[in-house]
Structure 1
Amino acid sequence: MVTNAGARVFDEVVRAHPLLDLGKQYADLLAALDRGEVLRRALALVAVGSDVAWTARPDVDGVLTLEQVTGDWTGVLRALRVPPNTGLTGKVFRAGRAEWVDDYFDSQKITHDFDRHIATEKVRRVLAVPLLRDGESLGVLAIAPREGGTFGDRDIEHASVIAAQAALAVSVAERARLSREIAVHEERRRLAADLHDSVGALLFGIGSGVADLAESAHADPELRVRLERLQRQAMDASTALRESLRTLRSSPAALALGVALRADCSAFTDRTGRPAELVILDEEPPELAPSRSDVLITAVREALLNVEKHAHASALTVSVQRSSSWLTVAVHDDGVGLGPDHAPGVGLTSTAEALGRLGGSVRVVSDPDGGTIWRARLPC
């Protein structure tokens, strides 16, 4: 336990050594960018005494998994999977609003799929609130006291405020994680390119040189055999290198779109000297089949080329956002906008046809504040 005197001494030390306070701020920032730590801190704020509390995270099918649990005695709740709309947790996730039961086992408001788990933990009542951010449910936060009683307005408001703050922090943490992973995959692609240009070229040169020597070694059969063996080894090394480069270049399906678009933005900046920024507005873009992702990436490249050729822009932004069952990618430049006699060219027409075959669409409009907005939508 820290005494008042000890706390005063600590404060004095921090004032005398600002780097200690800076270190603490840095540690807090790192914690804020970690989803698990964010949720652990949120649970610590809602759970008191003998309460059990948990957070649940959805997968792509809407099945929730209890990812963080605190105050439990038996472990039966940990990693528990909750199908959509089952139990109070599933109901709250589907409805997107706070719900509670003051007598869990007698309640008619919920399914009772998890009565055994709740009884094992000796829970009496449960309050659950959604983790909402920009209208999207990122999961559920729940508190489950073991003592009887009723939830009042203050309890519900307290849990809702903490859930809202946690949802914001989770959203920031997930975007930071995605940015880190994209950066890692970009670095892997850069390393792959460097290895291809250096080691790959060196192995090719060695193999070609050995092949030439083997051709001229007719007078010495033993030397010819040894040279042919070296040639095969160089070929094997080249094959192994190609496989390694393919692995380095590959990225998970959920990151492939972000990695490709980030590379295209960088290429635009390299070509034109004008900044192009990628903004991913979701904590994790949806996974697209390679054929669909390729169509979308090709469409964006066509849009970037049009900006380069016609917009006279000083900067542009490429944004990616998922809304309901649609994925939207927009290219927004600050150039001259569309002329009054603008008509779609061959590139835009081809893009519209390609996206249309997949149920998507593309539209180009002038921004009232200046510039042009190119927007493609694709079902996901």
Structure 2
Amino acid sequence: MDPAAGAAREHAGIVGLLDRRAAVRAALELLRTEGDVVWVAEPVEGDSPDLTLAQIAGDRTGQLRGLTVSHGLGLTGKVAGTGTPSWVDDYLSSAEITHTFDRVIDLEGVQRLLAVPMGRLGVLAVGARTTGTFGGRAVARAEAVADEVALAVAVAERARLAREVAVHEERSRIAADLHDSVGALLFAIGSGMAGLSDALGADPELAARLARLQDQAGEASVALRDSLRTLRSSPAVLALSVALRADCAAFRDRTGTAAELVVLDDPPALAPSRTEAVVAGVREALLNVEKHAGASAVVVSVAASVTGGLVVAVTDDGVGLTADTPRGIGLTTTADAAGRLGGTLRVVSDPSGGTTWRLELPCP
């Protein structure tokens, strides 16, 4: 039997897994029959060409977990650079690889190592703690499993996207129903009360009660518009909005200072790593406002940039910054994180008071 075909049938169950990490874990367990320790080196988030050993099965020391591997270094880095399978039957003495990771490999007791490329998913590696040789059959088996993992991940991503689209479509339907029903009813109530105001004459008590009702109807209309905007947001944008809204609420609770989130236009969806960078940056900006600004109000705004990226701004009406105000560690850390993602961070003060913290990130 062709080993690749047999392996493909043996691993076909992986395709049914709708979780990316679960699919990779299943593949690692299957490949442990070929060796003692197995890992997947995945691309690092952002623009870095490096890989990180993100998922491992069968390791002993924990030294491999989270290890960063650059292209060309060790066997994993070599395969990442060449895009072709490779193996060494005596890792520590092989002349075909660099020995950047010898100490870790030696601690793990790995004698020989096989690695195959997985395209954009990284590199799959199988290490054995016994002497011997891998040979063509082991390579074919590892390549077959790598192909199945790639297929399983594609299925998982399509399933996740389909779920998000279904949720987004249902939210949009609910938003349309609320606009047509509750929105129309609030408009009719407001129009009716405006007509009553003309018919009341000079009764001040009734006029005051009617004015309060009109204000409440207006507040209800604003709340409805905010809810409709949230319902129409894509799931990724909604996640960012929920996190930032919670941070604004926490800021209000801590300081007693008004803080509101305003989502403009239809901001682009972000990768999880970029969402984390935005949320961490806004929290740092709000902390700086709390410590230094003496503000009475803060607005956090989220919008699409003219280039299709994301712009997040934190604006306060506080005392502002002077030319000699030192740049703190938190601001420097946020700027560095934005730079690694191809973005920029600017902090500008108005001479009359107030400061705007503005983060802009591209959305590749």
TM-score of the superposition, structure 2-length normalised?
Answer: 0.53
Deviates more, 1:213-222 or 1:196-205: 213-222
SS at match of 1:69: strand
Residues of 2 paired with 1:112 and 1:145: CA distance?
17
Quote how far apart the aligned CAs of 1:111 are: 4.7
Cα deviation code 1:13-68 (max 9, x no counterpart): xxxxxxxxxxxxxxx69943332232222111111397121223334634434343
Q: Does 1:142 align with 2:129?
A: no
The correspondence for 1:152, drawn from 108, 128, 135, is: 135
Cα distance change on mapping 1:90 and 1:249 into 2, 3 Å = farther
Residues of 1 paired with 2:208 and 2:68: CA distance?
63
Residues of 2 paired with 1:245 and 1:120: CA distance?
57
Contact 1:52 1:71 in 2 (8 A): yes
- State the partner residue of 2:37: 52
Q: Does 1:64 align with 2:47?
A: no
Q: Does 1:209 align with 2:192?
A: yes
SS at match of 1:194: helix
**Residue identity matched to 1:130:** P
Cα distance change on mapping 1:60 and 1:108 into 2, 3 Å = farther
Cα distance change on mapping 1:153 and 1:30 into 2, 3 Å = closer
- State the partner residue of 1:193: 176
Cα distance change on mapping 1:195 and 1:49 into 2, 3 Å = same
Contact 1:54 1:68 in 2 (8 A): yes
Q: Does 1:130 align with 2:117?
A: yes
**Residue identity matched to 1:201:** A
Cα deviation code 1:195-227 (max 9, x no counterpart): 222222222222333333344444332332232
- State the partner residue of 2:208: 225
Runs of 4+ in structure 1 over 6 Å off: 289-293
Q: Superposition RMSD on alpha carbons, in Å?
A: 3.6
Cα distance change on mapping 1:112 and 1:43 into 2, 3 Å = same
Cα distance change on mapping 1:232 and 1:49 into 2, 3 Å = same
What runs of 5+ residues in structure 1 fail to find an aligned partner? 1-27, 255-283, 294-379
Deviates more, 1:150-159 or 1:48-57: 48-57
Cα distance change on mapping 1:29 and 1:109 into 2, 3 Å = closer
Percent identity over the alignment? 57
Contact 1:97 1:129 in 2 (8 A): yes
Cα deviation code 1:258-305 (max 9, x no counterpart): xxxxxxxxxxxxxxxxxxxxxxxxxx9xx9x87677xxxxxxxxxxxx
Cα distance change on mapping 1:226 and 1:40 into 2, 3 Å = same
1:1-380 equivalences under 5 Å are 31-48=16-33, 51-58=36-43, 59=45, 61=47, 62-112=49-99, 114-115=101-102, 117-132=104-119, 137-251=120-234
SS at match of 1:97: coil
Length, aligned pairs only? 233
SS at match of 2:126: strand
Residues of 2 paired with 1:241 and 1:30: CA distance?
43
Cα distance change on mapping 1:128 and 1:211 into 2, 3 Å = farther
- State the partner residue of 1:315: none
Cα deviation code 1:316-346 (max 9, x no counterpart): xxxxxxxxxxxxxxxxxxxxxxxxxxxxxxx
Residues of 2 paired with 1:29 and 1:154: CA distance?
21
What runs of 5+ residues in structure 2 fail to find an aligned partner? 1-12, 238-270, 275-303, 309-363
Residues of 1 paired with 2:75 and 2:113: CA distance?
8
Contact 1:39 1:166 in 2 (8 A): yes
Cα distance change on mapping 1:204 and 1:129 into 2, 3 Å = same
**Residue identity matched to 1:198:** S
Residues of 2 paired with 1:227 and 1:184: CA distance?
40
**Residue identity matched to 1:169:** A
Cα distance change on mapping 1:224 and 1:117 into 2, 3 Å = farther
Cα distance change on mapping 1:200 and 1:79 into 2, 3 Å = farther
Quote how far apart the aligned CAs of 1:162 are: 1.7
Cα distance change on mapping 1:179 and 1:81 into 2, 3 Å = farther
Residues of 2 paired with 1:31 and 1:186: CA distance?
25
TM-score of the superposition, structure 1-length normalised?
Answer: 0.51
Residues of 1 paired with 2:99 and 2:195: CA distance?
78
- State the partner residue of 1:269: none
Cα deviation code 1:342-379 (max 9, x no counterpart): xxxxxxxxxxxxxxxxxxxxxxxxxxxxxxxxxxxxxx
Residues of 2 paired with 1:60 and 1:250: CA distance?
25
Contact 2:15 2:151 in 1 (8 A): no
Contact 1:211 1:228 in 2 (8 A): no
Quote how far apart the aligned CAs of 1:155 are: 1.9
Residues of 2 paired with 1:238 and 1:106: CA distance?
74
